[in-house]
Structure 1
Amino acid sequence: MTQKQLEDYLWGAANILRGMIDAADFKQYIFPLLFFKRVSDLYDEEFQLALEESDGDLDYASFAENHRFQIPKGCHWEDVRKKTVNVGEALVKAFNGIEKANFELLHDVFGDAQWTNKRRMSDEKLLDLIEHFSKMNLSIANVPHDIMGEGYEYLIKKFADDSGHTAAEFYTNRTVVKLMTQITDPKSNESIYDPTCGSGGILLSAALHLKEQGKEYRTLKLYGQELNLITSAIARINMFMHNVDEFLIVQGDTLDSPQILENDELKKFDVIMANPPYSVKKWSQSKWMNDPFGRNIWGTPPQGCADYAFQQHIMKSLKPETGRCVVLWPHGVLFRDIEADIRKRMIEEDYVDAVIGLGKNLFYNSSMESCLLVCRMKKPKERKGKIIFIDAKEELRIERTNAWLEPQHIKTISDAYWKFKDADGFAKVANNKEVLDNNGNLSIQLYVKQAANTIEYNTEELIAAVKTGQKQINSSMENLFTQLKNIGIEA
């Protein structure tokens, strides 16, 4: 099965639901059904292989050891397909049976959609969906893991496009994720964590990064926490679809109740990459003041903006020797006065490694400009006491409201980060004292000065554009006055 065939097939399922439910809700029905079909076809494939190995021994073919996931009697795709009434009820029974039989791996993986609400999802519509998915065999032989994983990511992206403002809750621009991964450069055997993991794309990028380099990626240990139940289920399915087994994704509020612990303390990680929800207003600020995990290392952020609560959580979760992180933020985290004391403490302790300004429209479904805040727990000797500022807002491709980084943009930005040298109008290495003298303000324009000739050129271009615009306005006004006069109105 080709990538294009799979993508068309998957998107065809979403089109069946159009007009029935809101586009933002497609994912809670399509993803569980897709996973159910994949698991069932995988079980059949494994069963057939075991039959061939054992010369037709049915008992042997049913042994749990021969299957990645267990499917109890009556819970297979074909069992549900036989139903013509109360289809939602049959699906829930199958989902519950599979989750219980594979509790450690699959508990809550099918989410909590209203399958039995016939006003929302009729038997006829469910039968249409089931028959659509039944047309394709999703075994590994027919759809290998890499094609399946890419198809799943395609569907996540399409749902994000359809979901309006809610897309940011589960999708981060994958070209920005690629850049984040180039900067943290995960290694085999390392632990990777995303405290607000959405659909899991940032975590998977670490595995794909190593895979592209021909290095061992299966020894990576991936960890994530996600507030939304449906989204956390999507993230776990995403891992399975990419054939990644070494992961732990939990559901819950990271600030209020972090769940990835070790010896009753926050677990420490080599690499953290994240795109937290920005400017969260409803969070437990009072609880943070006496945080049982000691995450208020530099102070308590304002109630109206939890950005530095997430940032401190991330810093507290890094290993002291190897820990490094990159976080996608709006520019406000760099300069807001109300957080200046927290920022200064972070700079004084020499954790801030780089600030990279990105162009507009890279936050999903938002025109806002974004930035990457890069930190290291222990900098290499040549980077100690210094921060590199990179103004990469022009390094992007933009079409209408969509923007992304091309491979050459990613290379230009990551090369500048790793070279750690001044580049006229693009990058500047500043020492911590200079930044602290600016009251801890990390705004890129304070340090990266635009080249003089560029400013002159832009000014001349702007003046020319203004003159052209003025001529057009004058011409339009003259035309308007003439038409008014012709109908007897004196302007």
Structure 2
Amino acid sequence: MSTTRISQRELESYLWGAAVVLRGLIDAGDYKQYIFPLVFLKRISDVYDEEHEAAMKIYDDEELADMPENHRFAIPDGCHWNDIRSVSENIGTKILGVMRAIEAANPDTLPGVFGDGDWGNKNLLPDSTMADLIEHFSSETLSIANLPEDELGNGYEYLIKKFADDSGHTAQEFYTNRTLVHLMTLMLEPQPGESVYDPTCGTGGMLISTVAGLKQQGKEWRNLRLYGQELNYGTSAIARMNLFLHGITDGHIAHGDTLTRPAFLDASGHLQTFDVVLANPPYSIKAWNRAAFTTDRYGRNMWGVPPQGRADYAFFQHIAKSLNSNTGRAAVLFPHGVLFRREEAALREALVKSDLVECVLGLGAGLFYNSPMEAVVITLRASKPSRNQGKVLFINAVNEVTREQAQSFLNDSHQAKIFNAYHDFEDKDGFAAVATLDQIKERSYSLAIPLYVVGAKAADVEGQIDVLDSLADWRTATAASDTAVADVLTLLRAEVLK
């Protein structure tokens, strides 16, 4: 096996080169369905070879070197990367067969991990294109010696971001600004051995950030228990691959609708609770089962039932119900509307009275991916320190954002300033303010930040409601329109190629 260390720049060029092969054949938003599984398949094949080579040095016997205990994943006969490379016809069908066989051979770890790409569709992926793609990936050996897990994981994250850039706002469901995720993780301070949950996990970036944080601190990370659920099947598969490629073998990623059918329950059928919850729920979705939530079997309607047009407080209540009653803390990314919209006033009042809200952090524009909207992070804590009980910290960090090359992010100084204010939990002129629950009651339980932070940007709250709601509706309609156009173009292309 060749041993040639792959630099981060070389890795990024190698990964993005696969997208170049596909450009013009399929919609950019669909690249991920094909490239991520092939990267993972190449990786496990090369690592299998690496493990085989190491075992041969011990046993000097081919059969013993292929024993399951010498490999993290089983690869059945005929299902290695080289077996795919030797095929010149019906390549997509061969790939699909190999992927399903590997999933079946690893029932405890890999079922469904390769997703549901339409590999057998020659109109979409002709053999010539598949051969080019296979040869492109064959140009590097993705062994652990060549590419340690953290570095390959970082390359995967790079590819996720590139796909988000390339496919525009339709990529929202699988990418959250990483600098913001890092800040949210810092605020919650996950510890070794704790459980971490993301109910709308996308590609698993928030879960991975908790592992990265512990690694950076030199703390034990392997006993962190990670749980995530994702509605989109293909995206949930990418999340599982993402965890594996970061060296995380004990993650639990479930596919399904968190509101309708939450995946993680305890032995009594109640919602499982967690030490840490990180989440970026979909914004103000309208297509959700409000009727079922009215009589929710898991008791997630403790604050009330959200309006049909906005499921934000359904996710909010799901998260609150998922917190361990002693150690539970959460950081949730929302649009500002949840702080003051009239239609959610009763829900917000119940939220405030629960004394779960620890901090309301207002951030600058552009941290929602490919959207000009300003973001807000709300942290919850099930058991507040006595000095913070009955109080909420408001932080106005709207100016703590950097924008370069059409991308917004939080640099280290921004993150430090925000984290220090959060940690100190005290008034800071023009930046942070502590309010009692009685003071919030005096403001009709509104959590709009300018009502509390003196010197914060003046806000026409009533006007903001209409603007933010219109923006959310526009983004939803645009995404649906883009999807419809892409579907029509795919059909037309298929007709032309017949």
> Do both proteins adopt the same fold according to a TM-score greater than 0.5, normalized to the shorter chain?
yes
Matched residue, 1:286:
291
* Equivalent residue number for residue 164 of structure 2: 160
CA distance in 1 between partners of 2:125 and 2:71 (Å): 32
Instruction: Tell me whether 1:309 sits opposite 2:314 in the alignment.
Output: yes
Deviation, 1:382, is 1.0
Aligned residues, how many?
A: 452
What does 1:19-418 correspond to in 2, within 5 Å? 19-54=24-59, 56-263=60-267, 264-399=269-404, 401-418=406-423
Provide the rounded CA distance (Å) in 2 between the counterparts of 1:346 and 1:331: 16
Q: CA deviation at 1:344?
A: 1.1
Aligned to 1:485: none
Structure 1 residue 416 displacement after superposition: 0.3
Q: Distance in 1 between matches of 2:396 and 2:271?
A: 34
The DSSP-based 3-state class of the residue aligned with 2:429 is coil
Looking at structure 2, the residues matched to 244 and 215 of structure 1 have their Cα atoms a distance apart, in angstroms, of 15
2:8 to 3, 22, 36: 3
Letter of the structure 1 residue corresponding to residue 355 of structure 2: D
Cα distance in 2 for partners of 1:40, 1:399 equals: 39
Cα-to-partner distance string for 1:437-472 (whole Å, 9 max, x where unaligned):
211100000001117xx99xxxxxxxxxxxxxxxxx
Q: Is the 8 A contact 1:367 1:401 kept in 2?
A: no
Deviations 1:223-262 (A, max 9, x none): 0000001100110000000001121000000001101111
The aligned runs of 1:432-447 (5 Å cut-off) are 432-447=437-452
Amino acid at match of 2:119: W
How far did residue 340 of structure 1 move?
Answer: 1.2
Q: TM-score, normalised by structure 2?
A: 0.90
Runs of 4+ that moved beyond 3 A: none
Report the AA paired with residue 209 of structure 2. S
3-state SS of paired residue (1:314):
helix
Aligned-partner residue type, residue 196 of structure 1: T
Query: Could you tell me how far apart the structure 1 residues matched to 2:299 and 2:108 are?
Result: 30
SS in 2 for 1:257: coil
Task: For 2:358 and 2:292, locate their aligned partners in 1 and report how far apart those are by CA, in whole Å.
Answer: 30
Q: Rg larger in 1 or in 2?
A: 1
Q: Which moved more, 1:65-74 or 1:391-400?
A: 391-400
The structure-2 alpha-carbon separation of the partners of 1:46 and 1:400, relative to structure 1 and needing over 3 Å to count, comes to closer
Q: Within 2, Cα distance between the matches of 1:220 and 1:12? A: 34
Give the Cα separation in 1 of the matches to 2:206 and 2:232. 16
* Alpha-carbon distance in structure 2 between the residues aligned to 1:400 and 1:208: 26
Supply the distance in 2 between the matched residues of 1:279 and 1:260 (Cα, whole angstroms).
24
CA separation of 1:6/1:400 partners in 2, compared to 1, >3 Å: closer, same or farther?
Answer: closer
- Name the counterpart of 1:474: none
Contact 1:361–1:401, Cα closer than 8 Å, also in 2: no
- Equivalent AA in structure 2 for residue 96 of structure 1: R
Residue 400 of structure 1 and its aligned partner are, at CA, apart by 5.7
Give the residue type in structure 2 aligned to 1:187. Answer: Q
Q: Provide the C-alpha distance between the structure 1 equivalents of 2:33 and 2:299, rounded to a whole number of angstroms.
A: 36
> What amino acid is aligned across from residue 200 of structure 1 in structure 2?
G
For residues 159 and 199 of structure 2, what CA distance do their matches in structure 1 show?
23
Deviates more, 1:337-346 or 1:424-433: 337-346
Whole-Å separation in 1 of the counterparts to 2:102 and 2:161: 27
Output one character per residue of 1:85-131: Cα deviation in whole Å (capped at 9) or x when no partner: 00011101100110000112111111111111000000000000000
1:424 matched to 2:429: yes
- Tell me the secondary structure at the aligned position of residue 169 of structure 2: helix
Letter in 2 for 1:322: T
C-alpha displacement of 1:399:
2.9
SS at match of 1:266: coil
Percent identical: 53
Q: Does the 8 A contact of 1:222 with 1:247 survive in 2?
A: yes
Structure 1: gaps spanning 5 or more residues: 456-491
TM-score normalized with structure 1 length = 0.91
SS in 1 for 2:109: helix
Deviations along 1:363-417, whole A, 9 cap, x unmatched?
Answer: 0010001100111111001111100100001001013632000011011101100
Separation (CA, whole Å) in 2 of partners of 1:403 and 1:359: 9
What residue ranges of structure 2 are gaps of 5+ in the alignment?
Answer: 1-5, 459-498
Measure the CA separation in 2 of the matches of 1:442 and 1:22. 41
Residue 191 of structure 2 aligns with an amino acid whose one-letter code is K
